[in-house]
Structure 1
C-alpha cells in the first residue's frame, strides 16, 4: 500500500514539474532573432523586460516608477518610452529616431510665420547694423597728420605732428625730425622740397633759389635777406651760410626795396609772389 502511494506521488510530481516547465517556457515575439541569455524590452509595457533563452525565457517587471532601458532598470524620467505617447503604431527604434526629427522641422518653418509681427518690429535691428557699419568705416579711415616745416627740430616731440626742416644747402634735400634729431632725407626724380606743402614737388612750383646760378647765394661769409619767390609775407634770412625761411607778422609783407616787413598793401613784393 505504501509503495503504491509513493509511486502515485512521484508521478504527480513529475507531471507538475513538466507542466510548470511547459507553462514557464512562453514564446515571446521580442526574442525572435535575439541571441540567448539576452534581456530585451517588452512591447507591452516599458516597465516590463524579457529574458530570452529559448525554453527558459521569461518576463519580469522593474520596480514601481522605473522603466527598462535595454540594459537595466532606471527611473522613468530617464528612459524614453514610446508607449507613453498616444497615436504611435510602431514603437520600434527606427520610429523613435525619426519621430523627434519630423516635428522639429515644421516647428522651424512655422516659427517665422507666427513671428511676422516680430519681423515688422525689426526696425530696432536696422540701427544696430548701421551703427556697426559706421564703427567699421570709422576704424578703417586713415588718420591724416599734416606735416609742418619749421626752422629747427623741436626738443619735445609731439606724436600728433610730423616736423620737417629745410636743407639750406640743397633744394632736393630736407630733414625729418625724430626725437629732436634731424634725419637727412632726399627727394627723388629731381624733385625739390617744398617748404610750404612739406612735400617733394616739381622745381617750377618750388622755385628754389639755392641751386640757381644767378640767384643770391647764402655763402658762409654772407649775412643777408632774400625775398621769397612765391609768397610776399615770407622771406629768407641768410646767416653765415645757413638759409632759413622767415615769416612777416599778420597783414605784413616783405618789401624788396626797404628790405623789411611793411603793411601788406604797401609792400613792393617780389615779381611773381602772391599777397596772402
Structure 2
C-alpha cells in the first residue's frame, strides 16, 4: 500500500514538473509561430485572459488589456470580463514550439501596457497621428511630459511613464527629466504641433533603420 502511494505521489510530482516546464517555455521562448503569415490581426495569448498578440508582418507583438479588461476573441478587442467570457485553457500551450523566429528590424517585441481603463481605448481626439506608422511607434503627447502615445494598428493609445520620469521623444523611452529635456505649454494641440509629432516619428524610424 505504501509502495502504491509512493508511486502515485511520484507521478503527481512528475506531472506538475512537466506542466511547470511548459509554462516556463511559454514565458521564456514566447510564441514565434502564432502570427505566421498574418498581419493586422489580434490573437489571444494562450494561457491568459488579459494578454494578446498583435500580428505585424508575421511577427507577434505582445500587448495586454491591463488589470481591468479581458481580451474578447469574438471582437479582437479588450472588453469587460463578463462580455469577453474568457476561460484559460492551458492545453493550448503544449502545441507552441520553443523555437524563436528572427525579429524584423525596427519591430518591437513588446508594447507598453495600459495602467488605467482610459488607456485601453484608442485616443482619437488627437487625430490620425498614427496613420501609416508601424505598430510600436511611440509619439510624445504635446501637453504632457509624463504621457505619450503608442501606435497600434494605426491608432494612438495613451500611455503614462512611471512616477518621476518624463518621456524622451527622441529616444522613445521614459527617462529622468534632466535627460528627457521635455518642455510643454498648457494649451490644446494645434495642427502644427501634431505635424511636429509626425516629424519626430519619422526621424525616430530613420534612426532605428540606420
TM-based fold match above 0.5: no
TM-score, with normalisation over the residues of structure 2?
0.31
TM-score, with normalisation over the residues of structure 1?
0.24
- When Rg is computed on C-alpha atoms for both structures, the one with the higher figure is 1
- More strand per residue: 1
